[in-house]
């Protein structure tokens, strides 16, 4: 792909309250599963950087944790990540749901955005839930909270209006050369993506049985000609959680492993032998050392 001399390149971040669909939208825009998704809030903990390139130029997306009120040191870290990203991008995408009811979290975000010195695009997710006149009501409700450079309804899950949103993003990016090769889709190493896939499958399999106090460490990842051998440890905060994660006769751990292995094999495009272990690290989310050890980088 030969980028034009007048191509554009810039950084864009997705912000919004937890569980509004930021990671799903980013995966849809780049056309590949990078960030993990879950029906639970606060799934994204680190800053995840993905890249979209076409003949118009290059967009570097920075996905961030949902804007939350910190309850522990991991929460402090997530808030710090979000604030740092908002200060270093060319464009903000604020993702909200298609509802005329605007909660306190979204009103708080709107207040923060009033001081933004860069373009802000309001992206209304789940547009299929608010057709015709109702969507106009949703747009009108949010317009009362602030001035937005553009408003684009989308469906992050179905990909509706994906191309329109990409066009709007390129409209506001500066002219410049690409930051990455055109084949690059993320700055995340494979080990990090694999650990996040395992964490995602654990969250989905465990449903409401344990809180978000789990992390995943890749102990070993050995590449062979037709096989990748992976050993990983799921970290939890309580002994009772360990029993739930393992399940009766190891049934839950086997379920997590089989669903994770399927997606990891698609990512690596080869057979995977995945072995999972479970370890308790009490109150790890309040330990600066353990937070760093588990891959949450300093900002």
pLDDT at position 70 is 42
Give pLDDT, residue 154. 95
Range of the domain at 206: 190-293
Residue 174 has what DSSP assignment? P
Residue 165 confidence (pLDDT): 97
pTM of the model: 0.65
Q: Which long-range contacts (CB under 8 A, 24 or more apart) does 187-195 make?
A: 187/49, 187/50, 187/51, 188/34, 188/48, 188/49, 190/221, 190/267, 190/268, 191/218, 191/221, 192/295, 193/34, 193/267, 194/218, 194/221, 194/230, 194/232, 194/264, 194/267, 195/232, 195/295
* Domain co-membership, 73 together with 116: yes
Bridge partners for 232 per DSSP: 218, 276
CA dist., res. 77 & res. 62, Å (int): 16
**Rounded CA gap, 110 and 147, in Å?**
10
DSSP state of 249: G
* pLDDT at site 139: 94
Q: Pick out the chain residues at pLDDT < 70.
A: 1-5, 33-48, 64-87, 187, 208-212, 283-299
| CATH classification at residue 203 | 3.30.300.20
Determine the 3-state secondary structure of 115 from DSSP: coil
Q: How many domains does the chain have?
A: 2
Tokens of 216: 């995943």
pLDDT of residue 122: 96
Residue 181 lies in a domain: no
Whether 178 maps to a domain, the answer reads: no
pLDDT recorded at residue 296:
53
- CATH of residue 52: 3.40.50.300
29 and 143 in one domain? yes
Q: What pLDDT shows up at residue 276?
A: 96
| Separation between Cα atoms, residue 43 and residue 22, nearest integer Å | 10
Structure token digits, residue 266? 């698609």
């Amino acid at each position: 792909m030969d980028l034009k001399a007048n191509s554009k390149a810039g950084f864009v971040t997705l912000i919004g309250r937890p569980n509004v669909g930021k990671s799903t939208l980013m995966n849809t825009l780049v056309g590949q599963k990078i960030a993990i998704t879950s029906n639970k809030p606060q799934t994204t903990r680190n800053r995840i950087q993905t890249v979209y390139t076409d003949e118009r130029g290059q967009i570097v997306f920075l996905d961030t944790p949902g804007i939350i009120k910190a309850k522990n040191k991991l929460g402090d870290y997530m808030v710090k990540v979000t604030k740092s990203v908002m200060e270093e991008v060319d464009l903000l995408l604020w993702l909200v749901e298609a509802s005329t009811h605007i909660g306190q979290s979204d009103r708080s975000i709107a207040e923060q955005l009033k001081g933004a010195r860069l373009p802000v695009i309001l992206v209304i997710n789940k547009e299929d839930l608010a057709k015709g006149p109702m969507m106009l009501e949703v747009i009108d409700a949010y317009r009362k909270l602030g001035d937005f450079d553009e408003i684009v309804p989308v469906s992050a899950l179905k990909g509706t209006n994906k191309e329109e949103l990409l066009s709007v993003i390129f409209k506001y990016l500066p002219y410049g050369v690409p930051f990455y090769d055109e084949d690059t889709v993320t700055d995340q190493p494979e080990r990090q993506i694999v650990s996040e896939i395992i964490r995602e499958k654990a969250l989905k399999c465990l449903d409401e049985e344990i809180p978000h106090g789990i992390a995943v460490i890749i102990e070993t990842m050995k590449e062979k000609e037709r096989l990748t051998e992976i050993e990983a440890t799921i970290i939890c905060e309580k002994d009772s959680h360990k029993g739930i994660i393992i399940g009766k006769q190891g049934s839950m751990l086997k379920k997590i492993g089989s669903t994770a292995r399927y997606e990891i094999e698609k990512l690596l495009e080869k057979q995977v032998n995945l072995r999972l272990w479970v370890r308790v690290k009490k109150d790890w989310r309040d330990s600066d050392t353990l937070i760093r050890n588990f891959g949450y980088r300093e900002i």
